Amino acid sequence: MHRSTFRMEWKRSARRNAPAAVFDAIVASVAECLTAAFGEALEAREIDASHGRLTSETVGEIELEDDVPVLRRIHVRLKLKASESEHETAMRLHQRFAGRCGVFRTLKSAIGITTELSIEPEPEDMILGDQGQKGG
């Protein structure tokens, strides 16, 4: 078991900016965990997710509830560069990978967390490497 302890000191001037910083940290944690979980699932199936092939962009949506800001939704857009033969496996993994992220499992009942996956064709020179080059 991992246990984290944080010591905070309240400051009157900090209250105004605190919610945004805290919400940013929560959104970033969800993004990091889900991106890592998806990357690990891809790598376990020998789909390379390194060197910028897997990236994500994440948006958190905050609403006011009784004049109090509340983080309601987080949406993670995963972008994968993969060969055509890897598309089906990646799409199948995307349907079930989120449960491998502890942050997602912790927050899913309080915050609507969704993901989407877009797959871009991998540039041919990355697939072929040196084999695709003709010598002179």
Question: Does some domain include residue 33?
Answer: yes
Give the neighbor-by-neighbor strand order of the sheet with 54-65. 54-65, 68-82, 112-121
d(CA 66, CA 16): 16
Question: Does some domain include residue 70?
Answer: yes
Tens digits of residue pLDDT in 105-123: 999 999 999 999 999 998 6
Q: What is the maximum alpha-carbon separation in the chain? A: 72
Count CB neighbours of 32 within 10 A.
Answer: 15
**Domain range enclosing 106:** 15-124
Instruction: Classify 133 as helix, strand or coil.
Output: coil
Q: Please tell me the pTM assigned to this model.
A: 0.80
Question: Does some domain include residue 38?
Answer: yes
Question: Does some domain include residue 82?
Answer: yes
- Amino acid code (one letter) for 36: A
d(CA 66, CA 70): 10
The kind and range of the H/E element at 58 are strand 54-65
Question: Does some domain include residue 75?
Answer: yes
Question: Does some domain include residue 1?
Answer: no
Number of compact structural domains in the chain: 1
Tens digits of residue pLDDT in 27-65: 999 999 999 999 999 999 999 999 999 999 999 999 888
Question: Does some domain include residue 4?
Answer: no
Domain of 26, CATH number, reads: 3.30.300.20
Question: Does some domain include residue 6?
Answer: no
Contacts of 29 (CB under 8 A, 6+ apart): 103
Tokens, residue 54: 């897997």
Tens digits of residue pLDDT in 8-33: 555 555 455 567 888 999 999 999 99
